[in-house]
Structure 1
């Protein structure tokens, strides 16, 4: 049956890509299920060449699928409609349709359509600049497709991942995934898919400045797209060839191919292609000193880009506008558009967390490997070894603390100091027994649950347990790190190496490290510091001060709150404040904050543990810099930690 359908479609499309009305008449006598499938196949083949006709076809298929209550066909029809809406630039509608497809596919446990829905959603989020969310959905899809050994589905996922890495400038990883996509498409004899993979490989070589290699691929792409009559792909290929000629300063050839690409992109309403062609025509005319034509091309590019919701198109447009105005020596306009470019790009960078993306890919690969029993057992053994190492480290820390305490005690004869040291000892043992016991219990518990129930746990439960193990480990590690630094400071083994440092860079690095914790509570962190403000400080100590104070602010701020880091340049010092709008403290609590004999456990707004040891460390490090630290706080209105560092 499927062979007959494909033969029918191929025959139909050879004759002027059969109009939809004639197609409907020719299949009217076929069973409903067969008609819906033929209409969906028609929609898929015409999704780029004739998207409006393809949309009508998929809508008719959806209508039939609903009439016969075939939810598998409904899910496929909706996924196809989402692809077409994406090609038409209607991303909001596309997301809505994909989400509906996912819901229906999950109802009937249609693994293929579930995976396509995940990947399609990931593709839209990638286009909108949300690479972290995009990769989360794409990796879900890839896991399902690999279990099904579904090569076509795998290739759609790997092409999306390759595009994400290209956007981040990681061209080695981008080529790795795109070449893998090309091999898969060749294995399944998907000629249009092969052409797309070749085109993207050509674009990466272009990004790398390897223009001869890029031209070779683009010319191959041109032949492939002409063979399958893919007008959108052909427009992109011609644009790529024009780009190579431009870089090689062959402006007449560049102009010829760029005009061909624009004409075709306009004919099929390919908006992104129109924007890129107008921009590059403007640059060509600028090189030819025809600024009147160049102005017209750039104005049209800006008009179309502003009508679209694809943020990367707008970023590219502003960047090239700045470049063009610089060529005209119009530096005021160049600066204006460069600021628009950087503002929009910075807004995207705030949404992206490259470290998180790399971590998510590693987690996915780890989970896939753990499905084999032998690898699972090795992994569990490794976890047990890691736990044992943590216990050994804990014991060493306890011994080290006791030694420090004993040495300190032997040097002090006064009864007052002796009582203080006894209090310190009690505090340390209470910290170690309580604050380290809780996360280790979590690590042991979740490890046992993974070991005993691995085969019956869902993927979501496994990910949750692994995430909880990671969170507990980080909590333990932070306390151990503070203990180690404090012990080094108390024993005089920590080196104080002041140097001239850019304060804003130190603040931004500390902020970036703590952004995952802030994002978990939807907390905004604002930095108000002059770009050129410098201090004379020890880098490790200053970083530790900021890490503890910012972490403290996040911990005691309610979800949705704000943390503001502000730096003021004074004659001899720089005054820094870290302000939150969280729980706040009473005067009595503030008085106890920096006293070693009164270290105690405080709970954050979501039950996060805080011992106050980090604040004691901050006070010692500020004092080493001959600075001062104080706290202004009021219950219910938040706290402000203020300290000074010499210039």
Structure 2
């Protein structure tokens, strides 16, 4: 976010080369005063031409002469120009030193120069994350410029104050001041680049507020103005920002296209800070697409550039991004290393918002490692930072994560307190996505506390909110773009409006497709919930009736009858727990909250562990379990998901195999695919019932050979998990002879 200005290649009507020749002649033939002026003018000339090394060389020579002559006016000018050069090169300490010396040497009565130096020091402090000091200098510059009615300077400083508030995460004030600057620039018909600068800054502020249609409109308007002005470098900045918007809208192909356009432009100039930002953004997109090798490659390139220019704020950001990538790679040690470095730097730089994010990321790594004390320290500190900054959206997320921590340590009351806080805050802020997530955790907590009615009720609320959110977002996106298209259709021949039209058509098609999918999904899930409610009702009825009999007639019942009733309650409870476990696991998969974490592992090891867990149930029915798998088979998959599928297939086989039966589990690699099968000689399935398996809206469940009960949710879960691996499940069965349940996934 910056106030972009196009550098001139002439001074007035005089070409640079003629001036250069004139100043060099004066340097060679003039007296001491003339040589001082020539050196100063050459430094200024090269500074304007972006030849910063040459400019610095001439100005330092001029500085030596000026110090000897004690010419404060000339010294002030030299320090001011050196400060400008160092600021452009992101040498913040040197820029601060030179601007401060210039300000000290400049008389207060020279108000115009004082305002420029205050404005420049505002830039220095803002870029070095000392935003409060930066704001103070901007306000001094603004007061002087208003006093002198320097309207161009006023609009420039207002824009920069908006940038300062942006860095403080105060996006409302950022929009307020940048909009005021924009109105002045438009009314005064200032250069297109100046107007485009404001539009670019508004684009970023709206992006961070989550108002993507406004962000997109301002970004596209800025791009059009920079194109008209022929400002290639600034077009790169806009493509970068448009890429960020598309990224947040989950339009990843469009996001990558914009970022690579930005990269192509930025590789042609020497601004390494801006180039590093684009490389980092490309890394983020590849990370979201789970192309982690590419993500790592671009993140490391960004870090190297930021280290070259000593961009401390950027380096701390790169460390955080690398931590996220290694987290997804399940390389937790490296993730911890990078998050810790990011935290250390952000503490030193006092980047509070970024510090909260890195602490939260580190806390969640520790949570995965079951290092609950370390996790708690990080999450609680992140919570404190977010609350102090008033970042309420982040607060809702940290409350949810703290709740997850308490769930894992079995402190369900504390978990309930935090998730209810997240729920209430999400509701007051109308954050539908956060509200949806709170319903998800509430369902899980009540399930852990064996309050299945509330668990199911919250799950239903979660599912409905998720569907409403998807539908609302598509409707809002279409409505916003459609309205803007209608307002601007007079200019539809302009390229910018053609782009909008293309976007409108694309979103309209997507909306129609999504609406159809939602209708089918809602219908299927309504049937599914009816099925689940029906299957929950029977065991609940048994629990209620049996427990009431025990409570009322306990003393009159024989010990044998008491044990019979207690055993009935026990079996019904086990059935309910199994049903709820599968239901909650399926909900994680549907919501996208169940992370897909593929890794390379030995398949035989997890198969052995699953068979070991299933053996007690098989032994109860005297069923033999045989395993056939090459111990050297390695696959790339989500280990926990594959375990869940294997356990469900084995449990299903045990359920429908008679006493003394036989079950085999086998895995093999064939034609680039890994194929796993569980074969039994059980009761089999009628041909007409096979299509009812693995689908959400068909109720197909039967009693096992030992009266075991089920709902079919387990098989539904298996299909969801295998499809995440771009694979498929299959079943073969002959009625009364046995069945084969299996899956195949790419190796």
User: Normalising TM by the smaller chain, what interval?
Assistant: 0.5 to 0.7
Q: CA deviation at 1:196?
A: 1.0
Match 1:230 to one of 302, 307, 311 = 311
Bigger radius of gyration, 1 or 2? 2
Q: Is the 8 A contact 2:83 2:96 kept in 1?
A: no
In the alignment, which residue of structure 2 is the partner of 1:346? 432
Q: CA 1:83 to 1:135, structure 2 compared with 1: closer, same or farther past 3 Å? A: same
**1:417-566 alignment runs, 5 A limit:** 505=522
Q: 1:201 to 1:309 in 2, by over 3 A?
A: farther
Match among 143, 148, 156 for residue 237 of structure 2: 156
In 2: Cα distance, 1:95 partner to 1:46 partner: 20
1:127, 1:310 within 8 Å by CA — same for their partners in 2? no
Q: What CA RMSD, in Å, does the superposition of the two structures yield over aligned residues? A: 4.3
Q: What whole-Å deviation, never above 9, does each CA across 1:444-503 have from its counterpart, x for those lacking one? A: xxxxxxxxxxxxxxxxxxx9xx9xxx9xxx9xxxxxxxxxxxxxxxxxxxxxxxxxx979
Q: Distance in 2 between matches of 1:503 and 1:253?
A: 44
Q: 1:75: which partner in 2? A: 155
Residue aligning to 1:88: 168
Structure 1 pair 16/153, CA: closer, same or farther in 2 (3 Å)? closer
* Residue 314 of structure 1, CA deviation: 4.2
Q: 1:220 to 1:323 in 2, by over 3 A?
A: farther
- 1:383 alignment partner in structure 2: none
Q: Secondary structure at the match of 2:250?
A: coil
Q: Name the CA distance, whole Å, in 2 between partners of 1:209 and 1:331.
A: 33
Structure 2 equivalent of residue 117 of structure 1: 198
The CA deviation at 1:146 is: 1.9
For the 8 Å contact 1:205–1:213, the answer to whether it is kept is yes
Query: Which position in structure 1 is the counterpart of 2:101?
Result: 22
TM-aligned CA distance change 1:337 to 1:183, over 3 Å: farther
Residue 145 (structure 1) aligned with residue 218 (structure 2) = no
| SS of aligned partner of 1:370 | coil
Gap change, CA 1:369 and 1:267, over 3 Å in 2: same
Confirm or deny that 1:9 pairs with 2:84.
yes
The 1:185–1:53 alpha-carbon spacing in structure 2 relative to 1, beyond 3 Å, is farther
Offset, 1:238: 0.6
Structure 2: distance between partners of 1:203 and 1:502: 33
1:372-451 to structure 2, matched below 5 A, reads: none
Contact 1:215 1:244 in 2 (8 A): yes
After TM superposition, give the deviation of residue 84 of structure 1 in Å: 0.9
- CA, structure 1 residues 366+225, in 2 after alignment: closer, same or farther (shift >3 Å)? farther
Q: Which runs of 5+ in 2 are unaligned?
A: 1-43, 49-54, 56-79, 435-468, 509-517, 532-747
Indicate how the Cα distance of structure 1 residues 26 and 230 shifts in structure 2: closer, same or farther if over 3 A, else same: farther
1:205 corresponds to: 286
Residue 284 to residue 70, structure 1, CA distance change in 2 (3 Å): same
Match of 1:102 in 2: 182
Which residue, out of 245, 269, 274, partners 2:355? Answer: 274
Q: How much has 1:293 moved relative to structure 2? A: 1.9
Q: Name the structure 1 match of 2:478.
A: 355
Instruction: Give the superposition deviation at 1:82.
Output: 0.8
Structure 1 distance, partners of 2:214, 2:321, is 29
Structure 1 pair 502/161, CA: closer, same or farther in 2 (3 Å)? closer
Q: Displacement, 1:83?
A: 0.5
8 Å contact kept, 2:119–2:141: yes
SS at 2:127 equivalent? coil
* Maintained 8 Å contact 2:83/2:95: no
| Counterparts in 2 of 1:207 and 1:11: CA distance versus 1, 3 Å | closer
Q: What is the alpha-carbon distance in structure 2 between the residues aligned to residue 149 and residue 254 of structure 1?
A: 43
Give the superposition deviation at 1:152: 3.8
Distance 1:340 1:367, change over 3 A: farther
1:255 aligns with 2:333: no
1:298-337, aligned counterparts within 5 Å? 298-308=379-389, 310=391, 313-314=394-395, 316-318=397-399, 320-321=401-402, 323-325=404-406, 327-328=408-409, 333=415, 336=420
Rounded to whole Å, the distance in 2 between the matches of 1:331 and 1:109 is 62
Match of 1:286 in 2: 367
SS in 2 for 1:61: helix
1:82 alignment partner, SS class:
helix
* Residues 329/226 of structure 1: CA separation in 2 closer, same or farther (3 Å cut): same
Residues 66 and 74 of structure 1 are in contact (CA less than 8 Å); yes or no, is this contact kept in structure 2? yes
TM-aligned CA distance change 1:288 to 1:148, over 3 Å: same
The answer to whether the 8 Å contact 2:376/2:405 transfers is no
> Unmatched 5+ residue regions in structure 1?
380-462, 475-500, 507-528, 535-647
Cα pair distance change 1:117/1:59, threshold 3 Å: same
What SS is found at the alignment partner of 2:126?
coil
Q: Distance in 2 between matches of 1:504 and 1:210?
A: 29
Asked if the contact 1:75–1:113 (Cα under 8 Å) also holds between the matched residues in 2, the reply is no
Larger RCO, structure (CA 8 Å, separation 6 or more): 1
Cα–Cα, structure 1 residues 160 and 58, in superposed 2: closer, same or farther, change >3 Å? same
| 8 Å Cα contact 2:240-2:258 kept in structure 1 | yes
Equivalent position to 1:52, from 132, 146, 153 = 132
Are the counterparts in 1 of residues 103 and 117 from structure 2 also a CA contact under 8 Å? no
Q: Is the 8 A contact 2:100 2:121 kept in 1?
A: no
In the alignment, is the contact (CA less than 8 A) between 1:285 and 1:291 conserved in 2?
yes
Contact 1:202 1:214 (C-alpha < 8 Å) held by counterparts: yes
Is the CA contact 2:102–2:117 (under 8 Å) kept in the aligned structure 1?
Answer: no
Distance 2:431 2:401 in 1: 13
CA distance, structure 1, for counterparts of residue 267 and residue 165 of structure 2: 28
Work out the CA distance in 1 between the residues paired with 2:374 and 2:159: 42
Distance in 1 of aligned mates of 2:114 and 2:265: 30
DSSP 3-state at the match of 1:47 = helix
SS across alignment from 2:267: helix
Give distance in 1, aligned partners of 2:103 and 2:161.
18
Between the two proteins, the alignment pairs up a number of residues equal to 395
SS in 2 for 1:187: coil
- 1:188 is paired with a residue of what secondary structure? coil
Instruction: Output the TM-score relative to the length of structure 1.
Output: 0.52
